[in-house]
Amino acid sequence: MTRTDDMPAAWDERAQLTAFLDYARDTARAKCAGLSDADARRAPLPGSPLMTPSGVISHLRWVEYYWFRVVLLGEDDQGPWTDEDPDREMRIAVDIPFARLLSEYAEQADAHRALVAGTGLDTRASRPIRDGRHVDLRWILLHLIEETARHNGHLDILRELIDGTTGR
């Protein structure tokens, strides 16, 4: 995979944040390249039945939705989760074709890229996070970089256990 996060030091903060988020997103999709629907639904970790490549991609898609649409913009939460099933986005992923999950994740990233391009980094979220603070867009971008990178590590492990493929 070609790195997309190498950039001149003169790039501004927004360019750096968005380049790293795009790189993390691209990495998640690259780690899933060539997986069949059946393999994408496999949960090879003992005790973690929701930890599948499908579940991770669905989770990443819905996490972005939540932070950008619900927290930042204050839209009604239309996510698949419920109080009774807070990880439902991972559970239902095994019933969705993997290509569709990857496509929806990419389409949503495009929409969020446009949203971020037109929003100031100091813009405060409409809704508070758990501790009551209204974080800014900069914080949300940093959080999504961390979240996506962490789950890329999960995808590395899952992929190696499923078919022996290892990343760089």
Q: Can you give the pLDDT at residue 23?
A: 96
The domain limits of the chain are: 13-163
The string over 114-137, giving b where at least 16 C-beta atoms fall within 10 Å of a residue's C-beta and e elsewhere, is eebeebeeeeebeeeeeeeeebbb
Q: What is the pTM of this model?
A: 0.93
- For the domain made up of 13-163, give the CATH fold: Four Helix Bundle (Hemerythrin (Met), subunit A) (1.20.120)
Q: Alpha-carbon distance 128 to 116, whole Å? A: 19
8 Å CB contact between 122 and 136: yes
pLDDT string in tens for the chain (168-residue length): 565 556 556 689 999 999 999 999 999 999 999 999 999 999 999 999 999 999 999 999 999 999 999 999 999 999 999 999 999 999 999 999 999 999 999 999 999 999 999 999 999 999 999 999 999 999 999 999 999 999 999 999 999 999 999 876
Q: Alpha-carbon distance 60 to 76, whole Å? A: 19
Q: How many CB atoms lie within 10 A of CB 142?
A: 15
